[in-house]
Amino acid sequence: MVYPRVSLYALMLAAAGIPLYIHLPRFASVELDIALGTIGTVLLVIRLIDLVQDPLIGWAIDRWSGGQSLFALSAATGLAIGFPLLFTLRPGPHVVAELAAVLILLFSAYSLGTILLYGRSATLAARPDPHELMTLAAYREGGMLGGVVIAAIAPSLLFGMGASGQGYPAFGILLGAIAIIAAVLTRPIWRRKPVIGEGLSLPGMARAGALRLLAIALVNSLPVAITSTLFLFFVEDRLELPGKAGPLLVLFFLFAGLSVPVWTRASHRVGPKKTLLIAMPLAVLGFVGAAFLAPGNLFGFALICIASGAALGADMVILPAMFSVALTAAGLNASTAFGIWSFAGKLGLAFAAFAVLPLLGQSGFVPGQPNSPEALATLNIAYATVPCVLKLFAIGMVLALPSKEESL
C-alpha cells in the first residue's frame, strides 16, 4: 500500500500546485483587480524567498530525518489553511499585501511537501535501485496528474453547480479538504525508516551528474512555466474559447497521465535519455501548432493539448527519476538536493510570471476584454514562440548528456 499512498500525497500537492501556477494570475487580475505587472512582481518576490527557503527545507529534512511525519503533516496543514484564505480574498487597499502573505504560506507548505516527497524517493521505493525508483516515480507522477485534473476542472464545475465567485471560494474549501484527507491516509508511509546518504556538496553533485540534470530541469521548466502562466489567457482571449479552458486542461493532463506508463516502460527498455528525445519534440510540435491556430479552432487546440500533454508526462516522470537515481548511486542526501531542484523549477515559474505578464500589460493586453491585434500578437509570441525556442535548447542539452546517463 506504499505506492498508492505516495500517489495520494502527490495528488494533494498537484491539486495545490495548479491553482498557484494556472488559476492564480487570472483570479488575482479579474477577481481581485490587481494589475498583471504587480502579480508578476509578487510572484518574483516570493521566489526570492524560495531561493533561501527551499534548500534550507531540504537541509532540515535531512538533518532531522526522524521528523518525516511532522514535516508531512505541517505541509498538509499549511495547504488546508491557506487555500480557503486565498480564494476568499476580496479587492481592497491591502489586497496585494494580503495576497503576498497567503501565498508565502502556501508556497512554503507546497515546497515542504514536494521536497519531502521527492527527497525520500529511496525511502519510499521498495528497493533503492533504478528500476524501483522509476516505478515509484510513475506512481508519484500518476498521482500528481490526478490532482492536476481535479484542480483544472473543479472551479468551472463548482461554478456550474451554483458556487459564487466563479467557483473559487468553494474551490479553496475543496483543496483544504483534500489536504486533510491526504494527511490522514498517508501517515503510514512517513513512518518508514529513512534512507540517508552523505552530506551534499557541489563537487559531489557534479561527479554524480546531478548538476547537469539540474541545469536541464531548469531550462526545460521554462516552456511549461510560460504556457502554464498564460494558458487561460491564450484559450479565452487569443483563441476566443470562453468556458473551454477547464476541459482543455483536463484533456492536456489526462494524456500526460496516460502517457506516464508508456514513458516508464520505454525508459526501462531504451533508457531515459532516448525516451526524452522521443518525447520532447512532441512539445515543440505543440508550440508551433499553437502559434498558427485561428480563433475558435477548438479541435486544433485539443490535438495540441494531447501532444503536449504526452510530452509533459515524460518530463514529469523521467527527469526527477534520473536525478534521484544519480543521487542514490552516489550516496548523497537527496532531500537537500531536491530542495535545490524545487527552487530551480520555481525559478522558471517566477521568470515566466515576471517576464511575460508585465510584457503583456505593456502591450495593452487586458484579460476578458476586447484586445488590439498587437496585444494578441504579443500573447501569441509569449505563449508559443518563446517556449518553442527554449524547448529546442533543452533538447540540445539532453543530446549533450554523456552516454553513461542513458543507463540511469
Q: Which CATH number do you get for residue 46?
A: 1.20.1250.20
C-alpha cell at 388: 518553442
Q: What's residue 408's pLDDT? A: 40
Q: What is the structure's pLDDT at 191?
A: 86
- Structurally, the chain folds into a number of domains equal to 1
- Tell me how far apart the alpha carbons of residues 257 and 320 are, in angstroms, rounded to a whole number: 16
Q: HEC string of the chain?
A: CHHHHHHHHHHHHHHHHHHHHHHHHHHHHHHCCCCHHHHHHHHHHHHHHHHHHHHHHHHHHHHCHHHHHHHHHHHHHHHHHHHHHHCCCCCCCCHHHHHHHHHHHHHHHHHHHHHHHHHCHHHHCCCCCHHHHHHHHHHHHHHHHHHHHHHHHHHHHHHHCCCCHHHHHHHHHHHHHHHHHHHHHCHHHHHCCCCCCECCCHHHHHHHCHHHHHHHHHHHHHHHHHHHHHHHHHHHHHCCCCCCHHHHHHHHHHHHHHHHHHHHHHHHHHCHHHHHHHHHHHHHHHHHHHHCCCCCCHHHHHHHHHHHHHHHHHHHHHHHHHHHHHHHHHCECHHHHHHHHHHHHHHHHHHHHHHHHHHHHHCCCCCCCCCCHHHHHHHHHHHHHHHHHHHHHHHHHHHCCCHHHHHC
Task: Return the pLDDT at 407.
Answer: 41
For residue 91 the three cell numbers come to: 479587492
Distance, in Å, from the CA atom of 240 to the CA atom of 351, rounded to the nearest integer, reads: 26
408 residues of the chain, pLDDT tens digit each:
788 999 999 999 988 877 776 778 778 888 888 887 888 788 778 877 877 788 888 888 888 888 889 999 999 999 999 999 998 898 888 999 999 999 999 989 998 999 899 888 778 887 877 778 878 888 888 888 788 778 877 887 888 888 877 788 899 999 999 999 999 999 998 988 876 666 666 677 777 677 888 889 888 888 888 888 888 889 988 999 887 887 888 888 788 878 888 888 888 888 888 999 999 999 999 999 999 999 999 999 999 999 999 998 888 888 888 887 787 777 766 677 777 777 777 777 677 767 788 888 888 888 878 888 899 999 999 999 989 999 999 999 999 887 554 444
Closest CA to 227 of 143, 320, 353: 353
pTM (predicted TM-score): 0.73
pLDDT of residue 199: 62
For residue 235, the model assigns a pLDDT of: 92
Res 197: pLDDT? 63
**Residue 368: its pLDDT value, please?**
77
Q: What are phi and psi of 161, to 5 degrees?
A: -85, 5
- Domain span at 401: 2-407
